[in-house]
Structure 1
């Protein structure tokens, strides 16, 4: 029978996936929203910066140790 315990490696894998795919997707959404608002003339530089930071945060997943 297989063990149903979830160890620390499973939690690390979930964290790694969220960091690798979740943050960049949110960053793309924020940048897209900033682009749409900038077409109307309301340019908010902080939204572009936040989106770029979220996309770059996706590289943090490389710091999570491997199994």
Structure 2
């Protein structure tokens, strides 16, 4: 049961955060076409993508 939760957590961090980062960056790109550049949105998107490397910190199941 614990191993399953860790696998779900690892998958959420590994795939969910980069997907959210791409959505945030995509939204920032759409807004910047109108001339309103929000640098913090680009930074937030890059941070979310970078946090996907935190999935390596989730321990693997010891079989």
TM-score, structure 1 normalization: 0.88
Quote the Cα distance in structure 1 between the aligned partners of 2:45 and 2:10. 19
**Does residue 1 of structure 2 align to residue 10 of structure 1?**
no
Q: Deviations over 1:12-59 (max 9, x none)?
A: 000000000000000001001101111100100110000000000111
Structure 1 consecutive aligned stretches of length 4 or more whose deviation exceeds 4 Å: none
Give the Cα–Cα distance (whole angstroms) in 1 for the partners of residues 53 and 34 of structure 2: 32
Q: CA RMSD in A?
A: 0.5
TM-score (norm. length: structure 2):
0.93
